[in-house]
Structure 1
Amino acid sequence: MAVSLSKGQKVDLTKTNPGLTKVTVGLGWDTNKYDGGHDFDLDASVFLLNAQGKCNSDKDFIFYNQLEGGAGSVVHTGDNRTGEGEGDDEQIDINLPEVPSSIEKISFVITIHEGESRNQNFGQVSNAFVRVVNKDSNEELIRYDLGEDFSIETAIIVGELYRHSGEWKFSAVGSGYQGGLARIASDCGLEIG
């Protein structure tokens, strides 16, 4: 039975699931009725952060044009341009023991592609969630439903896996940003164009 989290809650992942090594982080969403003339394209991305909360290099930013990072320990399974259908819209596979020791935190972000120029924001998105699944058994371990707390934001840090006393924990973050992916990347020490 999955642990259902609320914004700000943290939960042990590896301590309460001994032997867990491989997880899939699934992200999903639906778009509301919208007649702005542009398709909605939401994207999941991942930032691998050091103890200072920064990426060590561009290779620590994983997204639809760079599907792998962390020396192959974190793999994005590919872009979904429509968000159609049930279940996860995009997934990230993580081999926890293989994550380089310099990485303290794995941050999961959902952004609206070209959200500002298309006048799109998370007020037009519903049923957004992140979940952590045991890749070997396909058992859902953690789920965080974001709710409808957003209006003008074009990017959301949905959750983070982080190291604590030799174990991995998950934090339900749910922080929205204006300025899209570039704003979050800048906070992580990267410049993206």
Structure 2
Amino acid sequence: MSINLKKGQRISLTKDNQGLSKIMVGLGWDPVKKGSGGLLGALFGGGAPDIDCDASVLMLDANDKIKDKNDIIYFGNLTSKCGSVRHMGDNLTGEGEGDDEQIMIDLNKVPANIQKLVFVVNIYDCVRRKQDFGMIQNAFIRIVNMANNQELVRFNLTEQYSGRTALFVGEIYRHNNEWKFAAIGEGTNDTSLKDIVQRFA
């Protein structure tokens, strides 16, 4: 049975799931429904571009640093050099049910020097498009055991993130020979993945 977490909670993924290795991390969100825009909206399709949220994974060492650019997994670098993290590709609109982006992880293949996998979501071209996470609703992260397709953990981000342009959603980390998950849910004003990565340089 899936466990629903609240912001700040932590849970062991491997303690009660002996042999857990291959997991899928699903991230999802929905654009807030836009109004019709009246006559002009009807004539010209509303004009506002879709919100393109990009999920990324940062592979950090014991000092919370990124040592290699290949340890940043995103739409421009879909697979880590070690093969332990694989991004399944970019969803450009957030439309549709279920996961918008999925990341496959083999915990047994994560190199020993990697202590933490941080999951972040940012809005592509947010400054020019004047978009922020106040325009997003129903955001979540969930973890599925790929051996039996069982959802282990879900964290629904229920806060109001208006004005925020990036989200630190959650992290998977090593602790005493276990893999744990922490529900973070922190919004920031980073305007690109490059800005986010600078925090860990």
| TM-score of the pair, normalised by structure 2 | 0.91
Residue 33 of structure 1 deviates from its aligned partner by 2.8
- Structure 2 residue corresponding to 1:49, chosen from 60, 73, 92: 60
1:80 aligned residue: 91
Partner of 1:23: 23
User: Which deviations, in whole Å up to 9, do the C-alpha atoms of 1:53-111 show, x marking residues without a partner?
Assistant: 11111000000010011500000011111211110000000000110001000000111
Question: For the residues of structure 2 that align with 1:70 and 1:24, how far apart are their CA atoms?
Answer: 18
Partner of 2:194: 182
1:164 aligns with 2:178: no
Q: 1:132 aligns with which of 119, 143, 147?
A: 143
TM-score using structure 1 length:
0.95
Q: Given residue 18 of structure 2, which amino acid in structure 1 is its aligned partner? A: P
Cα gap change, 1:29/1:110 in structure 2, threshold over 3 Å: closer, same or farther?
A: same
Q: Which residue of 2 aligns with 1:8?
A: 8
Helix, strand or coil at the partner of 2:134? helix
* Alignment CA distance shift 1:36-1:11 (3 Å): farther
Q: Give ranges in structure 2 of 5+ residues lacking alignment.
A: 35-45
Does the residue aligned with 2:194 lie in a helix, a strand or coil?
helix
Q: Is the 8 A contact 1:70 1:100 kept in 2?
A: no
Structure 1 Cα separation of the partners of residues 183 and 87 of structure 2: 20
Higher fraction of helix: 2
Identical aligned residues as a percent: 49
Whether the aligned pair in 1 keeps the contact of 2:3 and 2:152 (CA below 8 Å) is: yes
Find the aligned partners of 2:114 and 2:47 in 1 and give their Cα distance: 40
Q: Number of residues paired by the alignment?
A: 189
Offset of residue 117 of structure 1: 1.5
What are the ranges of 5 or more consecutive residues in structure 1 without an aligned counterpart? none
Tell me which of 164, 172, 196 is aligned to 1:153.
164
Determine the C-alpha separation between the residues in 2 that align with 1:72 and 1:43.
Answer: 20
Work out which of the two has the higher radius of gyration on C-alpha atoms and give 1 or 2. Answer: 2
Question: Which of 129, 140, 152 pairs up with 1:141?
Answer: 152
Corresponding position of 1:65: 76
State whether residues 48 and 70 of structure 1, in contact with CA within 8 Å, keep that contact through their aligned partners in structure 2.
no
1:36 Cα offset (Å): 6.0
Q: Which runs of 4+ in 1 moved over 6 A?
A: none
